[in-house]
Amino acid sequence: MHSTDGLTRRRLLQTSLIVGGLSAFGLKSSWASSPPSIDLPFSRGHRPLVAFPEKRPLMVMTTRPPQLETPFSIFDENIFTPNDAFFVRWHLANIPSTVDLHTFRLTIRGRVKQTWSFSLKDLQEQFDPVEVAAVCQCAGNSRGFSEPRVAGGQWGHGAMGNAQWKGVRLRDLLEKAGLEKDAKHIRFDGLDRPVADSTPDFLKSLSLDDVLTDHVLVAYEMNGEPLPFLNGFPLRLVVPGWYATYWVKMLNDIEVLNQEDRSFWMDPAYRIPNNSCGCIKPGEKASNKVPISTMRVRSFITNIVESANIRAGAKVRISGIAFDQGYGIDLVLVSIDDGQHWQAARLGKDYGDFSFRPWETHVALKPGRSYQLQSLAINRIGESQQREAKWNPNGYLRNAVDTIQVRTVSE
């Protein structure tokens, strides 16, 4: 009881800060000089660093709706992305300014035997808690690197994060409600709403097969804390292995459907060309499209940044992270010679198949030279990162080999 009251008050305070923070951001004059910023290496890549409520300064792409990117150095410092550094992406600007836990309910309805409404406390007390470490990655992560350029938010590589999620199994909630025989798809809705009537509400759906697993959660905790407001307080769907578009935030409505959902954010939005690469040639048109689903295998070098001057030596350390859709990482290869030779990195601690996996290796670099450093991950079913970036008109699924240019200085 007490903690619920405390939380409600805290959220009220924080949300008034959000509104204040947003309008303050609109007023350029609120800074004496220009704010700190990061420039991503593509056009229109200038990002002011601004602290939103519950967040440290993050790279602001848009303020309404909030779209904040995690500065890449964070991934070198943490295998689990801190909540205050976790990226933020909303489609609709009408996000509620408060969530009152006394009245908030998650409803399950549609093709079920019994409609249910649960408070946060009900979920915490009536169902087994489950935890999973999983990467939440926007379908358009790294989109800003697409060539030719594509429409949509010009993300660098920081529209992703890894967290320890805790909540209840969606399967357990569906079991409690009892599925009707014709139940086929599940549609998820959150508290956010469009500003204009002509904009469709953000609804996402998954098939029954996709959600009746052990690890699809309705999560109420992230890295041991309640979800930050901007990451979906009080509840969000966690769909390990799947792109973040399905991880519906401020989840308050689950509707069981007896057919496929054709609403806007499932069709035509968030679709990819229906072929093995999900790609087409620029200028071509995909003849057939399917909803985007699970993530492509990726790796990143995190301890050395693009264009760095690094000290040459016989043992230069290169380290980073890798992840895939949940088969787990089998191998990370590193090259220092434009991909002619590759050496296997040592994989670090395994936090679970859906988590970032740390890796590291050592290479010999001579002084006074330019090097192209690359990392390439392969998962346990043999899927590999793309040697050349593939293209589609939305900049989805990007998983080219990570490549950075460095120069060496004397040891």
Residues that bind ligand MTE (CB under 6 A): 86-92, 136, 138, 190, 192, 202, 231-232, 244-245, 247-250
**How many residues lie near Mo ion (CB under 5 A)?**
3
| Residue 271 interacting entry, from Mo ion, ligand MTE, none, C-beta within 5 to 8 Å by type | none
The distance of closest approach from Cβ of residue 196 to ligand MTE in the complex, given in angstroms and rounded to an integer, is 15
- Separation of alpha carbons 104 and 102, rounded Å: 6
Which residue number, 88 or 334, has a Cβ lying nearer to Mo ion? 88
Stretch that binds Mo ion, among 113-121, 138-146, 286-294, 398-406 (CB under 5 A): 138-146
Choice between 139 and 316, CB closer to ligand MTE: 139
Nearer to ligand MTE, 145 or 371 (CB): 145
Tell me the sheet residues that pair with 37. Answer: 48
**Interface with Mo ion (CB under 5 A), residue from 130, 138, 237, 279:** 138
Which token pair is 128?
A: 């087994």
Please tell me the distance from the alpha carbon of residue 347 to that of residue 137, in angstroms, as a whole number. 21
Q: Minimum Å distance from CB 160 to ligand MTE? A: 8
Least distance (Å) from ligand MTE to the CB of residue 287?
A: 25
What 3-state class would DSSP assign to 172?
helix
End-to-end Cα spacing for the chain: 61
- Return the one option of Mo ion, ligand MTE, none that residue 323 interacts with (CB less than 5 to 8 A, by type): none
Which CB sits closer to Mo ion, 67 or 335? 67
Using the rule CB under 5 A, is 292 a contact of Mo ion?
A: no
CA separation, residue 253 to residues 93, 208, 259, 262, 318 (Å): 19, 16, 17, 17, 45
Cβ-count burial of 388 within 10 angstroms (0-12 exposed, 13-18 middle, 19+ buried)?
Answer: exposed
Q: How far is the CB of 402 from ligand MTE (least distance, A)?
A: 20
Task: Tell the smallest beta-carbon distance from residue 123 to Mo ion (Å).
Answer: 25
Minimum distance of Mo ion from residue 244's CB (angstroms): 5
Region near Mo ion per CB under 5 A, out of 80-88, 133-141, 169-177, 251-259: 133-141
Q: Closest distance between Mo ion and the C-beta of residue 87, in Å?
A: 9
Q: Report the C-alpha gap between 357 and 361 in whole angstroms.
A: 14
- Smaller CB separation from ligand MTE, 237 or 318: 237
The tokens of 181 are what? 């025989």
Single out the residue of 271, 263, 234 nearest to residue 249, CA to CA.
234
Cβ nearer to Mo ion, comparing 153 with 348: 153
Q: Please identify, using beta-carbon distances, which residue of 88 and 101 lies nearer to Mo ion.
A: 88
Taking the complex as a whole, the smallest distance from the CB of residue 146 to ligand MTE amounts, in Å, to: 17
Q: How far is the CB of 197 from ligand MTE (least distance, A)?
A: 17
DSSP for 110-170, please give it: ESBSS-EEE-HHHHHHHS--EEEEEEEE-TTTTGGG-SS--SS----S-SEEEEEEEEEEH
Q: Which is nearer to ligand MTE, 239 or 329 (CB)?
A: 239
Q: Smaller CB distance to ligand MTE: residue 233 or 371? A: 233
Out of ligand MTE, Mo ion, none, what residue 324 binds, judged by CB under 5 to 8 A for its kind, is none
Q: Which residue's CB comes closest to Mo ion?
A: 138
Rounded distance between C-alpha atoms, residue 214 and residue 172, angstroms: 9
* Rounded-to-integer distance, Cα 256 and Cα 2, Å: 34
Segment (H or E) for 14:
helix 2-26
C-alpha–C-alpha distance, residues 74 and 81, integer Å: 7
Separation of alpha carbons 334 and 256, rounded Å: 46
| C-beta nearest to ligand MTE: residue | 190
Q: What residues make contact with Mo ion under the rule CB under 5 A?
A: 138, 244-245
